[in-house]
Amino acid sequence: MPMLTRNDLYSLEQYAEVRPDFRRRVIEHKKNRRLALDAHHTLYFEDALTVQYQVQEMLRIERIFEAAGIAEELEAYNPLIPDGANWKATYMVEYADEAERKTALARLIGVEDTIWLRVGAHDKVFAIADEDLDRSSAEKTSSVHFLRFELTPAMVAAAKAGEALTAGIAHAACAISCVLPDNVRSALAADLS
């Protein structure tokens, strides 16, 4: 997938006009890109449209309209767009209760390195996590991590051919696995070249 450029973005004025429709379109699109591993662990798979939405929202909130500021936002968010041989996802640990979340994050140190995807019968692909900065400490992990799953050419071909996708976590405090629903599998297969 090509990276976003300034030409792909709406100006602040244009975005104010199209935002309600654009937002609805993105929310509908994201339904096929969300994978709940269980009640507390979710993967949100990114692509050019989800990243464009994030950039547009940041520009709107921060009232950024100068070329240098727009370039900074694109530089920060473009790495989240998959390149055709990988998938990129935002992983979130979600607990409504703050005390429960704090306990879970202390228990889940290193979880980001144990998240995996599998195409058909191929080997598991473990995430490459947080390439921009470390989000864990000796006391706890973060509730948000950015992941990249690199696929071999054979895995890409198998995914595009419709083979099942499974995902999971192989952490001592949290062992999960699930089959991706067809809508998510199809969306991810479409990301591959």
Token pair for 101: 């979340």
Domain region containing 172: 34-46+82-193
Question: What does the pLDDT read at residue 10?
Answer: 96
- 75 and 135 fall within a common domain: no
In this structure, are residues 82 and 13 in contact, taking their beta carbons and an 8 Å threshold? no
pLDDT at 112: 95
How far apart, in whole angstroms, are the C-alpha atoms of residue 156 and residue 193?
8
Residues 141 and 102 in one domain: yes
- The H or E element that residue 169 is part of is strand 165-171
54 and 118, same structural domain?
no
Is the Cβ–Cβ distance between 142 and 135 less than 8 Å? Answer: yes
The CATH number of the domain where 86 resides is what? 2.60.40
pLDDT recorded at residue 39: 95
154/75 same-domain check: no
- Supply the pLDDT for residue 137: 75
What is the C-alpha to C-alpha distance for residues 78 and 132, in angstroms, rounded to an integer?
A: 12
* Interior angle at CA 32, CA 55 and CA 26, nearest 5: 35
Q: Are residues 170 and 184 in the same domain?
A: yes
Name, in order, each residue with C-beta under 8 angstroms of 168's C-beta and a sequence gap of 6 or more.
37, 115, 116, 175, 176, 177, 178
H helices of the chain, in order, are: 12-30, 48-62, 67-77, 98-107, 153-160, 182-190
CA-closest candidate to residue 145, choices 161, 133, 162, 163: 133
Indicate the number of domains in the chain: 2
- Please tell me whether residues 96 and 157 are part of one structural domain: yes
Same domain, 10 and 86: no
133 CB burial (10 A radius; 0-12, 13-18, 19+): exposed
Same domain, 65 and 136: no
Contact between 177 and 171 under an 8 Å Cβ cutoff? The reply is no
Shared-domain flag, residues 125 and 111? yes
What is the residue-level pLDDT of the chain in tens, covering all 193 positions? 689 999 999 999 999 999 999 999 999 999 999 999 999 999 999 999 999 999 999 999 999 999 999 999 999 999 999 999 999 999 999 999 999 999 999 999 999 999 999 999 999 999 999 877 677 778 899 999 999 999 999 999 999 999 999 999 999 999 999 999 999 999 999 999 9
Q: Do 126 and 60 fall within a single domain?
A: no
What sign results for the dihedral spanned by CA atoms 20, 24, 25, 27? positive
